Amino acid sequence: MPPLMTVTGSTLVIAPAPHRRRPRARGPYARLFSHPGTRAFTAGNLIARLPMGMFGISAVMMIAGQRGSYALAGAVTATGLAATAVVAPWTARLVDRYGQARIAVPATLIAVLGSVGLILCVRAHAPAWTLFASYAATATTPNIGGMSRARWTHLLRDSPAAHHTAMSFEQAADELCFMFGPVVAAFLCSAAFPEAGTLTAAALLLTGMLVFTSQRATQPPVSGPGRGTSPLRAVRPLLALFLPLGVLFGSMEVTSIAHLEARGLGAATGLVLALQAAGSCAAGLLYGAFRPRSLRTCLITLSAAMALPWAAAATGSLPLLAGALLLAGMATAPTMVTAMSRIHAVTPQGRLNEGMTLAVTAILAGIALGSATAGPLIDHLGPTTPYALPAAAAVLALAVGSAGMPKAPQP
């Protein structure tokens, strides 16, 4: 804008032009949520995702509290995990074929009824088999994280940088919900009544899913029955990567709990594990604001970071262990974001939710294997040496990732 000129008496006064402020550049996450409909489906996604970290511990506390048996509680939750590994890919396939709203809502209703049935069976002191049957019904819970990622992939198919930011946000959301979910569940079960955690989780799941699926404008197109090839063959090499990553997560959690309990620091367990999840959440958000790295680079960093808790545990220092777990957590998010992005790249068009669910199933199988393996190691070697198991799992993941992963353009 040119300067303003005024005449005062016989003097010509030239006033400087008013300063025009440049608009502040928006960050990657502000740009991400400027897309129409993204805030609404993300709100539903977060509400429905929080219960994913609540159901397991809620069931254990409810069953153990009412039946007095942690063995029964553990067996029931393990059965639910096994049922999920079988049922979840089929649910995801139906979601891809017929649409998120059409399949996710009835599937969620079945899962909620299973949770309610579990509550009623526990309170009525029904036979043990009814607990297994009720909790197995919750396996129909749709993969809300996969459905949300499928929406981002559809909306941002022409913007790789924004897609990377979205995937980083989703990984951070996973960590956030699995960090706060157990805390909320434990508080409800202990401060209110034993069934409060399961009841609240079921209500949140149904509410969030209804909000999420009501956003039809951002729903990805359906593949249709019989259309598109199965993603299993395309993602199989990556499943071999996600399995040791799951072993890493499962063994790290069990070993950390045992290590802290053995040193009389059981009260700090929740805080230390939450610190690890917080590190992963923060790293995930930060990673989304920068250019993505190669999968091999992320796996090398992860392998180095997983050696830190083992070294810190040997010193017996809680602050050192907490710091090591924080750094280890920060290394997991970039690895998971990059690996999940590879799933997106190789999955056939229209089958993304199924491909994502297969990856999650591999992780769950690895978590179960890691937990089952860490237990005997702790019994025979003590609570410190088994920290070598997550370190070894990270090295195995690096070896698998370096052996050659499939590459394909984004659909």
What is the tens place of the pLDDT at every residue in 116-131?
Answer: 999 999 999 999 999 9
- Residues of the chain with pLDDT > 90: what percent? 29
User: How distant, in Å, are the alpha carbons of 22, 64, 365 from that of 314?
Assistant: 55, 33, 29
Provide the token pair at 44. 């539903």
pLDDT at 275 over 50: yes
Provide the residue ranges of all domains of the chain, joining segments of one domain with +.
Answer: 38-227, 232-411
pLDDT for 308 = 94
Mean pLDDT of the chain: 84
Position of tokens 């924004």? 162
**pLDDT tens digits, one per residue of 35-73:** 888 999 999 999 999 998 888 878 888 888 888 877 788
Greater pLDDT, 157 or 304: 304
- Percentage of the chain lying above the pLDDT 70 cut: 89
Give the model's pLDDT for residue 408.
45
> Tokens 């002191």 sit at which residue?
125
Architecture of the structural domain at 38-227: Up-down Bundle (1.20)
What was the pLDDT predicted at 2?
Answer: 54
Map 271-287 to HEC letters.
Answer: HHHHHHHHHHHHHHHHH
CA atoms within 13 A on the CB side of 280: 27
Quote the crossing angle between the two packed helices 100-123 and 70-98, to the nearest 10°.
160
Q: Regarding the domain delimited by 232-411, which CATH topology (the fold level of the hierarchy) does it fall under?
A: Growth Hormone; Chain: A; (1.20.1250)
Closest-CA residue to 145 (of 269, 46, 43): 46
Q: What distance in Å separates the CA atoms of residue 72 and residue 138, rounded to the nearest whole number? A: 17
Bridge partners of 34, per DSSP, are none
pLDDT at 303: 94
Q: Do domains 38-227 and 232-411 have the same CATH topology?
A: yes
Q: Is the model more confident about 372 or about 297? A: 297
Inter-CA distances, 166 with 155, 173, 286, Å: 10, 10, 12
* Cα distances (angstroms) measured from residue 10 to each of 2, 4, 6, 15, 396: 22, 17, 10, 16, 86
pLDDT beyond 80 at 161: yes
Which pTM was predicted? 0.77
